Structure formats: structure tokens, C-alpha cells
A and B are shown apart, each in its own frame.
Chain A
Amino acid sequence: MPIAIERRDPLTQAQGVEAGYAQTARRWPAQPLVRRPHSVSELSGPRVRDRLPELRGDLAGYGAKRALGQLIRVRVRVVDEDGAPLPGTVVEAWHCNAAGKYIHPNDTHDAPVDPNFYGAARMVAGDSGLVELRTIKPGAYPVPDTNGWWRPPHVHFSVWGRVWLSRLVTQMFFPGEPLNEADAILMAIRDPEARNRCVARLVPSRTNELSYDYQLVVRGRKASAPMP
């Protein structure tokens, strides 16, 4: 099925350099990005599932091995721009523990490690493009060398769409968090509706887990039939 990719909309996608995020001015290219024609090389994509094993979809654990924090369950649906689900797509998720500490050795934040929490999940979407992540709600943490910037609680997601150009790496936020409105990464999205779509929706739950729904829309839609 041929896929078409349209240019990014500057209102719904962040631009390169953000005043509130100093590293962007050291890393985003100074030269304008180059427009290029697309061929099958960009408009086909890898079967990443063959390369990346499914790892774990439960970061919270049970009983004596339970991670500290508020239990949550996030139901993520992966679709393309036509709204068509992407069964079989790989979804990676990672986040810090309830105290705001990542499992990564480069995280120097003075917050405790939770021996029962390992913050990296990799799942494969089912028939409806759905994955479910059972975990604990991540904490907030200060960003080093900034003037009081705290990251709000968030979950990182990495997902593959149908083609090379539909790769999506993003972050999911939680509703009602006051830090959301001061976050240089979330606020870099100019369109308020696009920003709101990066915030998970709390849904009723009768279990001991707070439940959230979330949708990831990867780039790409069915290409219209070529003119005869």
C-alpha cells in the first residue's frame, strides 16, 4: 500500500531552537533543513519487530517486588493519519521512578533508586493497534543547570509506523499537572489542541490502578491513486 508523507505543520510540531531549552541552540542545525524528493527508500520501512524482542509491559510488579508509587495502567493505541490501527508495531516506553530517578547511569539527580523498578518496556501492538503498559506514575525532577525548570511527570514513547519517515519519538504527559504549563518541551508545541493530545486521558477504573487512555498518531496516510 503506497504511503504519502506530508510536510510537518509548524503549529503542531516543535521547531528546532527553543529559548527555554538551552541545549537546542547547541544541537539543532543552523543551516535550513533541505527538502528532498521521496523514493521507495524513504517510503518503505523496516520490520523492526524481527530485530527488537518484546521485553516487558509491566514495570510495576507485584507483592514484595512491587515498585513504589501510584499504580497506573496506560492503554496506548497506535494509528496512522487515516486513523487506521497499526497491529504488530513495536512500542518502546521508558520513564523515571516515582521519585524522579531514571535507571540510566548518566542520571545524577539526587533521588533514591527503587530496586523494584526498571523503567524500560517494549511491547508489540495487538490487532487494534493497542498496547497496555502497567507501571507506576513517574515523578517530577529538576533539569540540571537551568533556572528552576522541573520536568512534569511524563512517559517517553518510541514507535515505528509503516515507513521510514513515520518514526515517532515523543512523550506522554498526565492531566492536571501544574508543571505541564511551564514545561519547555510540551510548550514548544504551539497549537493548544496538539498540546492537549500529548496529555493522557484519565478513564474510570474499578481496579487498583489508575487508568489512562492515550493515542499515538504516526505520520503517513494512504496515498491517493495516481492520476490516470
Chain B
Amino acid sequence: MTRLVPTAEMTLGPFFPREFAEGANDLARGAAGEVIEVTGRVAELDGRPLDNVVLEIWQADAGGRLDNPAFPGWGRAATNAQGEYRFRTIRPGAIAGRAPHINFLILYSGLMRQLQTVMFFGTSGDPVLQAVDASRRHRLIGAPVGPNAYRFDIRLRGGEETPFFDD
């Protein structure tokens, strides 16, 4: 039986077209559920914010469904010169066996491969959150910063480094 080796991943580079990075960060339009805003800052070693980092998210709808034709579940944003990104979406419901969460994928110059992390809404039991050392779990919890607004900062390296997953 055919078995092909996956193509080697390579860095996105610094020049991902603006046209691609823009216009896909609002998942909430026309979708049922509680609209939330997720913002954050992406920084490298020493906390320096990074411009034009591409973030993609994948999440369930308000009812915990991943195959709702009326809700895309997927979005893309890029950071500005201050390292800030913003998504407008729907608060995800729980999927069987999982706590509500938003999957994040990060692509950037200097990252030889994609990085994967997850934002949770609380510390309640989730097998992916449990896989992370207890001392680092708080880095995966979105911080409420206003009505229906969450802050999820991502530190790629050093200091309060965000936990990333290997799959």
C-alpha cells in the first residue's frame, strides 16, 4: 500500500500577503450563540512584539458542533506592528470529552514549522489541558477583560512561555 511521507513544513516567511492575512478574523457574522472577542499580543524572546504573525483558529459552534454549515469554525488574523491580533467569534460549546476551547495555529518567519496551542475558558478538566504541566496551565486560559472579551497573549519563547503542542 502506498505510504507517502508528508512534505517538509517550512517557515511562512516575513512576507505573507496582506490580502491573505486580512478579512477572515470575524467568525461570528450570522452565527447563533454568544459573540465574544478574543485579542492578544504575540511576542518573542525578551517580550518583543512581532508584526505580521499569522494566527489561525478552529473551534466548535455554540452547541459543540464542528460541522455546522452555518458556522465556519475557522478564522485567520495577523498581528499589527504592536504584536496585537483580534478575533470576533462565538463562545464555543463543549465537545464530548472536551472542555470548551479554541485551537490556535501560529505561522511566522523564524518558525520552521507551525506551532499549535489552545485557549481554554476555565481550568475545568480537559485531557489536553491535563497533558500540560500544572505550573504552566494558566498560560492556556483566556483572561476575561470585559463583557464577552478575552485576552490570550502568546509568548513564543522565554519568560512566561506559552505551552505548545506536538502532534
Contacts and interface: CB of A to CB of B under 8 A. Distances in A.
B110 A28 contact: yes
A219 B6 contact: yes
Contacts of A156: 12-13, 16
B26 to A, nearest CB: 10
Interface residues of A, number: 80
B113 A13 contact: yes
B66 to A, nearest CB: 5
Q: Which of B10, B24, B46 has the most CB of A within 10 A?
A: B10
Contact of A30 (B8, B75, B110, B157): B157
Interface string B1-32: 11111111111111111111000100000000
Q: Which of B67, B133, B136, B167 has the most CB of A within 10 A?
A: B167
B157 A29 contact: yes
Contact of B17 (A104, A189, A197): A104
Contacts of A28: 110-112, 156-157
Interface in A124-173: 156, 158, 164-165, 167-171
Given A51-B74, A104-B14, A42 B167 contact: yes
B138 to A, nearest CB: 14
A106 B72 contact: no
A217 B7 contact: yes
The 7 closest A-B pairs by CB, nearest first: A23-B110, A46-B74, A33-B166, A104-B15, A83-B2, A120-B17, A14-B112
Interface of B: 1-20, 24, 44-46, 48, 50-52, 56, 58, 60, 66-67, 72-75, 95-98, 101, 103, 105, 107-116, 127-128, 131-133, 136, 156-158, 161-167
